[in-house]
A and B are shown apart, each in its own frame.
Chain A
Amino acid sequence: MRARVLIRPKTGILDPQGQAVERALPALGFEGVANVHVGRLIELDVEDASQVPQMCERLLANPLIEDYEVVELEDAA
């Protein structure tokens, strides 16, 4: 099973990376962009997808500052 983990900064925590991207887009002529946040993407092949949330809690994310979402994909890479 291929799993995809999406990790985002928690709402309400200052995200300077997202802000920097948000400021850069209008400079290229892209208007009407708001609430930009930058996170991480981790993809992994796992035998037991039910373990992925625990992996997130213990290592892949820091639940104090990050939210995570696990997406199960079809096949191993």
Chain B
Amino acid sequence: MKFGVVRFPGSCDEVDALMACRRFADADLLWHGDRDLRGIDAVVVPGGFSYGDYLRVGAIARFSPLMESVIEFAREGGPVLGICNGFQVLCEAGLLPGALLPNDSLRFVCRQVEVAVENLDTPFTRACDAGALLSIPVKHTTGRYYAPPGTLPHEQVVLRYAPGHNPNGSMDDVAGVCNEAGNVMGLMPHPEHAVDPLTGSADGGRLFESLAMVPVA
């Protein structure tokens, strides 16, 4: 298994994501201006402020040359994980349902939250225990998840903020969703910042560990 971690101008969590991936498999950075995915088996779209998030979060990054290849990779069933800004980019690209709106508080939030794993049957959560709560940090201003009524089936909710932990006013406490096929996932919390007990929690590692278990062709 080899991960490719996307680097846009304005990304800031790609190195943490790369280090998180390398705990479980090989990983390399992918440059936004390239089209070649260089034979990687899974893509991570990391957090940050891609292309400055001018206009609207994720709106411009979604048209980068590399993203066109990532969209094709995802449509062919390749696993793609979007974290925070990466989640916003995947929503803008139409790979995930819904959109991310400004936090209900209109403030930047940065804190440790607990999220419940609602769906264990995805390539991103297989290494999690049933009923598990993961302790993972969030840090964002635009993280209020919204999907129009009737567009988010129950089984596509992968992570939900534990009661009292919703940091942004997300609909139904949704913290992470997947696409209908289950091969694309996005979440607002930052699992790549929770892979070492030294920083308080290693729970985020379960997502990278799960992906590393995906059989490669």
Contact = CB atoms under 8 A, between A and B. Distances in A.
A17 B55 CA distance: 17
Contact of B99 (A16, A17, A60, A62): A62
Most buried by B among A14, A59, A64: A64
Interface residues of A, number: 10
Which label, helix, strand, loop or mixed, suits the secondary structure of the B interface?
Answer: loop
Interface residues of B, number: 19
Contact of A16 (B56, B98, B104): B104
Contacts of A17: 102, 106
Contacts of A14: 101, 104, 144, 169
B106 A16 contact: yes
B91 to A, nearest CB: 8
Contacts of A20: 106
A65 B102 contact: no
A52 to B, nearest CB: 15
A13 interface: yes
B148 interface: yes
A17 to B, nearest CB: 7
B55 A60 contact: yes
A16 B101 CA distance: 10
Interface of B: 55-56, 59-60, 63, 92, 98-99, 101-106, 144, 146-148, 169
